[in-house]
Amino acid sequence: MISKQARNRQIDWSLCFIADSEASTGRNILWLIEEAVAGGATIVQLRGKKWTVREFLTIGVEAVELLRPKGIPLIINDRTDIALACRADGVHLGQDDLPVEAARRILGLGRLIGLSVNTPEEARKAEDVGADYMGVGPVFPTLSKPDLPPLLGLECLRRIRAETRLPILAIGGITPARAAEVIAAGADGLAVISAIASAVSPRQASTEFIEAIGKVRKNRPN
């Protein structure tokens, strides 16, 4: 089942900036978000593994206040309670987090629920349990997450695409130079952490991703 949020709201899945507290290299996380969005990021996911609950909530509220006037959805990583409390647009869950069905009971049909998947079987189940979109990866090697599941590569991404109608955000070692092949393999958009967060200019880095995605779509046969 696809939720009312996904059915009734047009989401631009092109570029999700994952604003990760540990990848921020000491820079203000809200500044990073603002710069990424100014460069073209269309979604923001907020992740703070080492934040206290109160810190996460405070930053979540500030991020909502920053992004909502711009029409940019804010997704909270892992914490359904924080997503509800700060009135974010949704939550992104891992395979070991709260089940999608339970998160849906908490958040209702008005918010997005994403799920990380690594296999075609997980993709089929994600659609069955009512996820709105999938984070699929890691496609390529990355240092952004220490506890990586197996690398997918482009061929497994294609197999996952064949299993689901849900939007796919591909993640893991993706650069603007690799955007074309990842989109061609079936991704609806790219989820990026360090390539934006660690860039000298996060704004320019986001722009480079958006330009690369635009070129792929412009050259795609109708």
Domains belonging to the chain, first-starting first, are: 4-217 (3.20.20.70)
The pLDDT of residue 76 is 98
Q: What is the pLDDT of residue 149?
A: 74
Please give the pLDDT value at position 222. 56
pTM comes to 0.93
Look at residue 219 in the predicted model and tell me its pLDDT: 74
Can you give the pLDDT of all 222 residues of the chain as single tens digits?
444 445 446 899 999 999 999 999 889 999 999 999 999 999 999 999 999 999 999 999 999 999 999 999 999 999 999 999 999 999 999 999 999 999 999 999 999 999 999 999 999 999 999 999 999 999 998 766 556 677 899 999 999 999 999 999 999 999 999 999 999 999 999 999 999 999 999 999 999 999 999 988 777 665
- Residue-by-residue DSSP string for the chain: ---HHHHHS----SEEEEEEGGGSTTS-HHHHHHHHHHTT--EEEEE-TTS-HHHHHHHHHHHHHHHGGGT--EEEES-HHHHHHTT-SEEEE-TTSS-HHHHHHHH-TTSEEEEEE-SHHHHHHHHHHT-SEEEE--SS--SS-SS-----HHHHHHHHHHH--S-EEEESS--GGGHHHHHHTT-SEEEESHHHHTSS-HHHHHHHHHHHHHHHHHHS--
pLDDT at 147: 61
- Catalytic residue ranges: 47, 116, 145
